[in-house]
Chain A
Amino acid sequence: MPTFPENAPAADVIVIGGGLHGCSAALHLARRGARVTVIEKDHVGRHASGVNAGGVRRLGRHLAEVPLAVAAMELWHRIGDLVDDDCGFESHGQVKVAESEAELATLRDRVAALTRLGFTHEELIDRRALKAMVPAIADHCVGAIVCRHDGAANPYRTTLAFKRKAESLGARFIEGTAVRSLARAGANWRVDTSAGAFEAPYVVNCAGAWADRIAATLGEPVPLEPIAPMLMITAPLPPFLEPVIGATRRPLSFKQFGNGTVLIGGGHRGSLDRDANRTGLDFAGLALSARIVWDLFPAMRGAHIVRCWAGIEARMPDDIPVIGPSATGDGVFHAFGFSAHGFALGPIVGAILAELITGGKTNLPIAPFRIDRFAGAKPN
């Protein structure tokens, strides 16, 4: 257990949670000269941040997330400048296929809606263009929307890179240490942990699937649902796919790595015990993922599944995160509940939090992510 001398430097900001969002907050705050302490109950990247599919996309996002995803993508394309590591980021595009004319129509409507809002990063393509971009796709697919400069990165490596860079700028990471309570102590917040108490004027709640407990302590309970999205990886196959593939009506996240292995995800959920750090796999659910791959990629039918796993993630009822200031605790900020698609937003959310804490505002539209949106509609 770590010990802290009486005269240890005080922190300006305490970040709860050492996942990607916590590490990103630490990095961006450290860049602005803040003294940051990150408290992580296991080790950095242990949960959702370290084991997800690594998708980095603007494609198909909830409209509220689009501005953040667009800003994040700019950071991803220069990620080496930010964290001195390329994070395994590759950009061969993301594709969301339509399996029927009806699905294609919904995609067409979506592109139109985005264009009206001033976003042109999603492009509708026809059957021929889809086959040219994804030769292995099943013949029944009629078209798709694509973001040619979307891609994917290595989640664990990315999270560690943000941590290392933050440390190099003075951020302190305390792992294997759980937060027990959070309370006002004069002008500061006092965070009690299994390794003693820490005080700082600002606290950031990036506690992932456990963030609702922090929120509840602050008197702003949220309907967070811990979930365990499942993934599968195959033995190496000859290269047949460059972009990351999703589907329209059914859940799929599908990509082939440089070493030939293929990652299959898509949101089918296992079971979990968030207090035991334990997930359980549901093979009946994985069978559904396998059937979708069977339908969309006939070349995959002989593939061998070598390993399956599930991470511990947090979902909000409207499938978008909570980002922004606490409604009850002055100086506390939240970034959690990324609903199985937060990895790509990691680099920008840390910047948003740093802007809010050091400057009192952010240029990116975060109103849809307010923590008090769950309390029931307010009268106009």
Chain B
Amino acid sequence: MTDLRETYDVAVIGAGPAGMAAATVCVRAGLATVLFDEQASPGGQIYRAVTTSPVKRGTVLGADYWVGGEVAQEFLASGAHYVPGATVWNLTREREIGISVAGAAHLLRAERVIVATGALERPFPIPGWTLPGVMTAGAGQILLKSAGLVPDGRTVLAGCGPLLWLIAWQYLNAGARIDAILDTGANRAGAWRHAPPFMLSPYLLKGLRLLLAVRRRVPVIANVVDLRAEGHDRVEAVAFRTAGGAEQQLAVDNLFMHQGVVPNVNLAMAAGIEHRWDDGQLCWRPVVDAEGTTAIAGIAIAGDGAGIAGAEAAQAYGLLAGHAAVRALRPGARGLAPEAAVRARLKRTLRGRAFLDAYYRPAEPFRRPARDTLACRCEEVTAGQIIDTVALGCTGPNQMKAFLRCGMGPCQGRLCGLTVTELIAQARGVAPQEVGYYRLRPPVKPITLAELAALPKNEAALRSVAR
């Protein structure tokens, strides 16, 4: 990146709806604004490849996706310094940012940082989940959006959550074959007491229409309590059992799994932002106020990274965080969109969140798998091995590192962290909040020795030498 500055007024991390909204607001207020994003084009996950997708037929991905195109165009035209293909591997309390772009690492600083790194899929550990041909529904959606690919052969989707139904609908629109949906949602009865606000949610009608369209064309097997991917060199079948039912099997070539999305906490935690366990969403959420402000001066979090609320909410939160940054750096600034309207829209969008969280709450056997199931894919550690460290006196994921390499692999806990926290919590008989999470440190994604060695020298570095 040739013209990267050493300092900016505002640095936004992530080009999803929250990041794009925040950056657009800031640059329009006259702040020197940079936005870093890993992908080659803007949109984040929800609007992935919206400006470049080979899927041209609007009805495949749906109108909600293409809305993202307008947001992206507005952002691209805003004048913010947009750095695609940039991996942010560090963020310090002093708002120093480490990035890698085009194979070179850079350190820079911003007065305000808005972390909009969004969400990732909750781990879904089942026996056989590492077999080729087993992938997450989100991965399937990435292939669809960015490359126009649909699965070939016998295909089963398993799990629960709005995204599972969305990808099923998108696949059917694209003419793909889906043999069955195995619904692992449990205990739905409890969700209905949250229903009233959801009845007024814009998601209700959309969701119903989508669900009905899928159910018309795909057999849905409900109350799946047991799930196993089987095969030798790749997945050949999915074995499952419904509550009170006998074991069944479906021959498959592709198995897509999904049980919800959770905040992507790695950068925020490595920056030292406090997170708390949220039992409604069964994940860690940063401690932030209504504008995304954290306890660390100048660092805010906007979008699904602060708690799963969807793309529309993310856009609103991004705008609010942007406004907060503008007010901090340009106290007299005018021309900001009236917040009352934004907040009202946000309130409407959030209606029914509690219902969705309860209705699609991932079931216990799939969050705390059986002993023989791999929990940590990087280091091949089973659930049983993790539980056994509690008997040896280990009280949390960090102390567990004395016994196991779980959590020390390149994924930095993205695929195992929630499973580990919940397994230890259950084994100890305490709440996940007390167990805690991995002590995450940078680099939040691996960087090469070559990049690190090529970082420019400066005074501070010379001072840091021990002798």
Interface positions of A (Cβ within 8 A of B):
43, 45, 156-157, 160, 229, 233-235, 251, 259, 266-270, 278, 280-288, 290-291, 293-294, 300-309, 319, 340
Contacts and interface: CB of A to CB of B under 8 A. Distances in A.
Given A156-B401, A283-B98, A284-B455, A306 B446 contact: yes
Interface residues of B, number: 37
A305 B402 contact: no
Interface in B257-292: 272
Given A157-B402, A287-B455, A304 B446 contact: yes
A283 B105 CA distance: 10
A306 B96 CA distance: 19
B449 A290 contact: yes
Given A259-B405, A278-B272, A307-B408, A269 B450 contact: no
* Chain A binding surface, main DSSP class: mixed
A371 B464 CA distance: 27
Contacts of B4: none
Nearest to A160: B402
Contact of B464 (A235, A269, A293): A269
A281 B460 contact: no
Please give me the 8 A-B residue pairs with the lowest Cβ-Cβ distance, nearest first: A267-B466, A285-B464, A284-B461, A287-B455, A290-B453, A290-B452, A304-B446, A294-B453
Interface string B437-467: 0000111001111101111011011001111
B405 A304 contact: no
Contacts of B446: 235, 304-306
A283 B466 contact: no
B399 A306 contact: no
Nearest to B455: A287
30 contacts: A156-B401, A156-B402, A157-B402, A160-B402, A229-B466, A234-B449, A251-B467, A259-B405, A267-B466, A268-B466, A270-B464, A281-B90, A283-B96, A283-B452, A284-B458, A285-B460, A287-B453, A288-B464, A291-B453, A301-B453, A302-B448, A304-B446, A304-B447, A304-B448, A304-B449, A305-B449, A306-B412, A307-B408, A307-B443, A309-B441
A122 B458 CA distance: 36
B467 A285 contact: no
B146 interface: no
Interface in B387-414: 395, 399, 401-402, 405, 408-410, 412
Contacts of B272: 278
B93 interface: yes
A264 B4 CA distance: 29
A45, A235, A266, most chain B CB atoms within 10 A? A235
A268 B92 contact: no
A319 B405 CA distance: 33
B195 to A, nearest CB: 43
